[in-house]
Amino acid sequence: MSQESPVSIDPAEVAAFREAVLSKLTYSVGKDPEHAFDHDWFEAIALAARDRIVDPWMDHTRRIYRGNQKRVYYLSLEFLIGRLLFDSLSNLGLLDVARQALADLDVDLDRIRQLEPDAALGNGGLGRLAACFMESMATLGVAAHGYGIRYEHGLFRQAIVDGWQHEQTETWLDFGNPWEFERAEVTYKIGFGGGVTNLPDDPKGERQHWEPADVVRSIAYDTPVVGWRGRAVNTLRLWRARAESDLHLERFNAGDHVGAVLDEARAESISRVLYPADSTEAGQQLRLRQEYFFVSSSLQDLIRRFMKQNGDLRELPQYVSIQLNDTHPAIAVAELMRLMVDVHGLTWDEAWTATVGTLSYTNHTLLPEALETWSVGLMEHLLPRHMQIIYLINAYHIDALRAKDLHDFELLRAVSLIQEDNGRRVRMGNLAFIGSHSINGVSGLHTDLMRVTVFKHLHQLYPDRINNKTNGITFRRWLYQSNPRLTRMLVDAIGPEVLDEPETRLLQLESFADKPSFRKQFVEQRREAKVHLANLVRERIGVVLDPDALFDVQVKRIHEYKRQLLNLLHTVALYQAMRAEPHIDWVPRVKIFAGKAAASYHSAKLIIKLANDIARTVNNDPTLRGMLKVAFLPNYNVSLAEAIIPAADLSEQISTAGYEASGTSNMKFALNGALTIGTLDGANVEMSEQIGEEHMFIFGMSARQVEARKAAGEFNAQPWLDASPRLNEVLQAIHRGAFSPDDPNRYKGLIDGLIAHDTFFVCADFDDYWDAQRKVAAYWRSPKLWWRSAVLNTARAGWFSSDRTIREYARDIWKALD
């Protein structure tokens, strides 16, 4: 997406950057400009940009060291980063310089940009949040380090073949990664299995010696993370697994060549692939290996850094905060204890105080199937010393309750680290809770629900620990980089200060909502984004869209609780209504869907097929004359989101109330001026407070109503069908195979199941959703009202900046930043 340069650019800077790129192309890529491929140019530009990052990076690192500033470590199994070229150039203020420099060389930067593969080291919201947080922490000058795994294969590529999802291996590293620095010297030994022996001088048995059976090596790869205006540069350190070379060589020399290679493959499989599920039932051994591998590497690394500068681990909480992104790194509680007690010789009590003082934990889901537990058997086998430590933590924890005269069996059972029913399992959520001084949810409603559901009993014991930190998004990526036209308008209207202080300054846009000329411009920039998206849709799936239609968008992981099915039922209802009365003046609408389903999640995959079946039927029906189009865009990822979000008129945030912890795309859409149709779930609640319910389309049961229905076991949808001829007709059509003539039975199970047990209240909310969608259409007919609301959505989205979220974490949890 090109953009005229807003300010005059310094020709000397342009020349310098041009020379830097040419030099990289020649001496690092080894290509002559005459014969360079686009990919060679990409690499040269990235390397030239990276050079500009290194000095501020080292300055920042030195400053933190000298100031002995409190460090924050963000431990996450996922970082859903996307592309980095524009992120770096834009935050360094070099975007226009680079564009001009490349134009001088006859190279189109905006074309080259498309060649960078997405770093898709995450599944969805949680991973993208980690990436937004990294950028905000750099912007605010928090001395932060991200720690994770350098997966060789990120999230699978989704191909749609005959309407069905197929998973293909993602290979983001095929052409190398110009942003990272391999640190071959930063390496740790990670043990697995083996046995534990008592130390003779320790009668209480708190200190033990662990002799692992297997050892794997971790190697660090560092990627600099540039904050806005290059103010600070932090590090994202990702670990790669390698076989311990000595062992490997010994076996090889002994003649066991195959065994040696198998060992190597087994060790290196730890960082091979991201688990492609955003929730899961069965804990796999490899997953636990991944979790321990990256946690142990990270803790050893940060302790080494701490010891070099401070030396007394009892003081760790004063200088270090460790944030656990969900329970995925929760084994950190036991590993930190092990390192402090067994390796560094602290007493159990000293170590426990330091551990709880240092760790904090963010919960991202209440879904029971996503709450991690590990079988005691597997833990004993893979991490015998950690299992002992967990037992000991549990014993002291239960003792402390008894000492407070709490003997209620139900309570003790609920707060135990060990789940005793259906096989003994370690509850990672409880472990993370007990081992942390702060436990936060990610929206007000989600945090309230945490207090009364998953952590009800632990909350009663530790009423001060649970707190809320409503999610946010980085405006640099989700506005400045992805929507330069709108950004330009904001700068022209409010002044360039809006880029530095959007949280307060965006509000000044409110008065522009009443200016017809500004609204007109707003419509124009949206139309350009829609034309751009329509081109992309035509190129990718051959569906032709009318950019003047209402673009109605739902893009996110496919999950039953997110209710893509509800949106599809509305699509069919609209289709049937249009066919029944083709001469009514319908609002032309485009339904856009995108999202991946976990490979083993069959109902989600069937919903993708249904979307594609409906799309084929609707798009080929001549009676509609293009009034309705449906597009399922394959392979949703960060880059696709950047193209879709600026082009959306209507944002679908329609999860069953009580199920979506926060949502973050909801904020991205609102920031870009889309109106939301949604339930009062997750951060939609805060959005309605900030933006005003009158500028959104809120519908459906509240979380309380959902809870009441669940408690009463009212899942049968027949009453709703009886009350709604429209819903009845929609379900019948799908059931009888109207959208699947090639296999009329395809959706019988889905529809019968929905009626018998409507787990996510799709049918219950249908009529209300339909009515809300009628309001949407009527509102669209009043452009003045619609676009006024659109401008107000942008104006009032400032609070959803991840800078605000990070400031709250820094103030309340980390005690960093003064």
The conformation of residue 118, written as its DSSP 8-state character, comes to P
Q: What is the DSSP string of 488-531?
A: HHHHHHH-GGGGT-HHHHGGGGGGGGG-HHHHHHHHHHHHHHHH
Residues 186-205 that bind ligand 26Q (CB under 6 A): none
Q: Which residues pair with 678 in a beta bridge?
A: 653, 698
Contact between 105 and ligand 26Q by CB under 6 A: the answer reads no
Partners of 438 in the β-ladder: 360
Does residue 329 interact with ligand 26Q by CB under 6 A?
no
- From the list 71, 113, 364, 746, the catalytic residue is 364
Tell me how far CA of residue 224 lies from CA of 50, 54, 184, 230, 299, in angstroms.
9, 8, 17, 11, 20
Pull the structure tokens for residue 503: 């949280």
Active site annotation includes 61? no
Residue tagged active-site, from 425, 562, 563, 605: 562
Q: Closer to ligand 26Q at the Cβ: 177 or 651?
A: 651
Alpha carbons 483 and 671: distance in angstroms, whole number: 10
Q: Is the dihedral of CA 8, 11, 13, 15 positive or negative?
A: positive
**Nearer to ligand 26Q among residue 122 and residue 212 (C-beta):** 122
Q: Which residue among 471, 482, 672, 801 contacts ligand 26Q (CB under 6 A)?
A: 471
Residue 660 in the binding site for ligand 26Q (CB under 6 A)? yes
Interatomic CA distance for residues 546 and 446, integer angstroms: 38
Annotate 246-255 with b (16+ C-beta within 10 A) or e (fewer): ebbeebbeee
The DSSP bridge pattern shows strands 650-653 and 675-678 to be: parallel
Taking alpha carbons only, the member of 570, 593, 596, 507 closest to residue 798 is 507
CA distance 511 to 499: 18
State the Cα–Cα distance between residues 525 and 3, nearest whole angstrom: 12
Q: Rule CB under 6 A: say whether 372 interacts with ligand 26Q.
A: yes
Q: Is 60 a catalytic residue?
A: no
Find the shortest distance in angstroms from Cβ 121 to ligand 26Q: 12
> For residue 648, what is the DSSP state?
-
Q: Which residues of 138-162 are buried (b: 16+ CB within 10 A; e: fewer)?
A: bbbbbbbbbbbbbbbbbbbbbebee
Of 52-60, 249-257, 278-286, 712-720: span binding ligand 26Q (CB under 6 A) = 278-286
Identify residues 667-706 at the interface with ligand 26Q (CB under 6 A): 682
Residue 370 touching ligand 26Q (CB under 6 A): yes
Q: Is there a catalytic annotation at residue 609?
A: no
125 binds ligand 26Q (CB under 6 A): yes
Binding residues for ligand 26Q restricted to 426-455, rule: CB under 6 A:
442
Residue 98 vs 806, nearer CB to ligand 26Q: 806
Size of the chain, expressed as the number of residues it contains = 818
**Which one of 72, 95, 277, 302 is in contact with ligand 26Q (CB under 6 A)?**
277
Which residue number, 440 or 724, has a Cβ lying nearer to ligand 26Q? 440
Minimum distance between the CB of residue 798 and ligand 26Q, rounded to whole angstroms? Answer: 19
Q: Mark the segment that binds ligand 26Q (CB under 6 A) among 22-30, 191-199, 279-287, 478-486.
A: 279-287
* Cross-strand pairs, 80: 120
Nearer to ligand 26Q, 365 or 793 (CB): 365
Q: How far is the CB of 665 from ligand 26Q (least distance, A)?
A: 8
Q: Could you tell me which stretch among 211-219, 245-253, 660-668, 787-795 binds ligand 26Q (CB under 6 A)?
A: 660-668
| Cβ proximity to ligand 26Q, 649 vs 660, nearer residue | 660
List 275, 306, 396, 586, residue binding ligand 26Q (CB under 6 A): 275
Q: Which helix (H) or strand (E) holds 321?
A: strand 320-325
24 is catalytic: no
Q: Report CA-CA distances (Å) from 766 to 278, 694, 721.
A: 26, 21, 10
The answer to whether 123 contacts ligand 26Q (rule: CB under 6 A) is yes
For ligand 26Q, give the closer residue by CB, 129 or 791.
Answer: 129
Q: 456 catalytic, yes or no?
A: no
Q: How far is CA 731 from the centre of its chain?
A: 33
Report the distance separating Cα 32 and Cα 25, nearest Å. 7
Stretch that binds ligand 26Q, among 125-133, 462-470, 565-573, 578-586 (CB under 6 A): 125-133
If binding is defined by CB under 6 A, does position 365 make contact with ligand 26Q? Answer: yes
- Looking up tokens 């006859």 gives 106
Task: Name the segment binding ligand 26Q (CB under 6 A); options: 100-108, 277-285, 405-413, 476-484.
Answer: 277-285
Say whether residue 646 binds ligand 26Q (CB under 6 A). no
Q: What stretch of H or E contains 303?
A: helix 285-309
Cβ-contact 676, 569 below 8 angstroms:
no
Q: Give the pairing of strands 650-653 and 550-555.
A: parallel
Catalytic choice (99, 338, 570, 668): 668
437 in catalytic set: no
Q: Which of 69, 279, 310, 419 binds ligand 26Q (CB under 6 A)?
A: 279
| Nearest to ligand 26Q of 122, 673 (CB atom) | 122
Part of the chain binding ligand 26Q (CB under 6 A), chosen from 241-249, 261-269, 274-282, 668-676: 274-282
With the C-alpha atoms ordered 675, 677, 680, 682, is the resulting torsion angle positive or negative?
negative
Instruction: Using alpha carbons, list the distances in angstroms from residue 742 to 299, 619, 683, 737, 739.
Output: 56, 17, 41, 8, 9
Residue 390 neighbours by CB under 8 Å, 6+ apart: 334, 379, 417, 418, 426, 431
- Residue 72 or 155: the one with the smaller Cβ distance to ligand 26Q is 155
Candidate list 18, 153, 217, 557, residue with the active-site label: 557
Reading across the β-sheet that carries 418-419, which strands appear in turn? 373-375, 425-427, 418-419
Rg (CA), the chain: 27
Residue tagged active-site, from 556, 559, 570, 788? 556
Q: Which stretch binds ligand 26Q (CB under 6 A): 221-229, 255-263, 364-372, 501-509?
A: 364-372
Which of 388, 470, 639, 664 touches ligand 26Q by CB under 6 A?
Answer: 664
- Looking at residues 596 to 635 of the shown chain, list those that interact with ligand 26Q (rule: CB under 6 A): none
Binding ligand 26Q (rule: CB under 6 A), the pick from 468, 662, 684, 794 is 662
Nearer to ligand 26Q, 326 or 613 (CB): 326
Annotated active-site positions, please? Answer: 364, 556-557, 562, 664, 668
Residues that bind ligand 26Q (CB under 6 A): 123-126, 129, 275, 277-280, 287, 364-365, 370, 372, 442, 471, 660-664, 682
